[in-house]
Chains A and B, each alone.
Chain A
Amino acid sequence: MGRFHRHADGTAHDHSGGDGHDHDDDDHRDVGDHSGYDSGPLRVEVLERILGENDRTAAANAEDFASAGVSVVNLMSSPGAGKTLLLQRTLERLASTTRVGIVEGDIETSLDADRLTGLGAAVSLVNTGNGFGGECHLDATMVRSALPRLPLADLDLVIIENVGNLVCPAEFAVGEHTRAMVYSVTEGEEKPLKYPVMFRAVEMVVVNKVDLLPHLDFDLDLFLANLADVNPGVRTVLTSARTGEGVDAWCAWLTGITDS
């Protein structure tokens, strides 16, 4: 906590440097008029990142992952993009070579976690519905609560299946090494421009349900161009979790994370 004090001229500051709080160094600038506070409220400069507390917990998670030698990917998407079916196909392929753990985030029910059990992976469910109608994302504290139920030291890879939502999950770091998202071709070409936080946050976009392309007006090239405008250099892989197309390429990317 910072040290608040008031100067004789009526100005006030809160000195927070070196107190363990995270600050956005790119954004330090003096705010406001520091004269004329002889009466009225005291203005206290803070300049603290809104998600600093979350980021400190994420750093603790990252330390636990590092000491266990496990690689972690935060997998996000809108609801219904096909994350869980893709994960089923992924676990079927990786079970014999890679020890996988899943953190399954859902607002309510264990339906998705149930689909992933019996496929050789350790699954830890987090329901976010205990609060104000259900949190729309996993934050670092929720992921931390899931970790004691995973044998981290015996795993190579942890996949965090985030809550289905194209906005909120991207704001909350959870200690992951990398982020990926599943995007289905039924969602339209323009979404990277409408949901830039998510599309900018990821290193890999899995373009799923490509078996439906012959039946849709979806313009794949336009989608990829919009994606590149928002996130230049992002990796993509075209998949159909239903037919299995492209799932090997996705799995190769995943196992590449564990090698690095």
Chain B
Amino acid sequence: MHELSLCRSIAGIAGDHSAGHSVERVRVRIGALRQVVPETLVYCWGVLNEGTDLAGSTLEVEHVPAAIDCTACGAHTLLSLPALRCGTCNSSDVVLVSGEEFLVTSLDLTEA
């Protein structure tokens, strides 16, 4: 249940960047390899922010699939499992190019 901890961190970052404005929407980008359940994160966001300045704000999760580039054959593979093997030549000589993102990307603010 570390989604609640993550929401506390996200709320802290939103507070740091809102400069006294009212926060309408917070966008986060989370890679598939992060094992964060977006629905749980959104649920925790609502619970955590009840009665605070962030009450009623929307948490929008941009989910990024995991993908690898093969060093051996150059193929690009979107991963359905976290196994780091090229989908074309089965080589394990691959570079992870997405899937580990874990960012607050932007806020929508309204005049307070």
Q: Are B106 and A45 in contact (CB under 8 A)?
A: yes
Q: Does A220 contact B (CB under 8 A)?
A: no
Known: A4-B19, A197-B33, A230-B82. A44 touches B103 (CB 8 A): no
Q: Does B73 contact A (CB under 8 A)?
A: no
Q: What's the count of A-B pairs with C-beta under 8 Å?
A: 123
* Count, chain B residues at interface, CB 8 A: 38
Chain A 110-131 residues near chain B, CB threshold 8 A: none
Q: Is the interface of B mostly helix, strand, loop or mixed?
A: mixed
Q: Does A195 contact B (CB under 8 A)?
A: yes
Give the residue name and chain of the B residue nearest to A5 (CB).
B19
User: Can you list, as one digit per residue, whether each of B96-112 has a CB less than 8 Å from chain A (1) or not (0)?
Assistant: 00000111111111100
Partner of B2 from A16, A32, A168 at Cβ < 8 Å: A168
Q: Does B42 contact A (CB under 8 A)?
A: no
Q: Does B76 contact A (CB under 8 A)?
A: no
Please report the C-alpha to C-alpha distance between residue A230 and residue B17 in the assembled complex, in whole angstroms: 36
Please report the C-alpha to C-alpha distance between residue A16 and residue B104 in the assembled complex, in whole angstroms: 13
Q: Are B107 and A43 in contact (CB under 8 A)?
A: yes
Please report the C-alpha to C-alpha distance between residue A192 and residue B81 in the assembled complex, in whole angstroms: 10
Interface pairs (27), CB distance under 8 Å: A4-B17, A4-B21, A24-B101, A27-B29, A31-B105, A41-B25, A41-B109, A42-B108, A43-B106, A43-B108, A43-B109, A46-B13, A46-B103, A46-B106, A47-B106, A48-B104, A50-B6, A50-B9, A50-B13, A50-B103, A52-B13, A53-B9, A168-B2, A195-B35, A200-B33, A229-B83, A232-B84
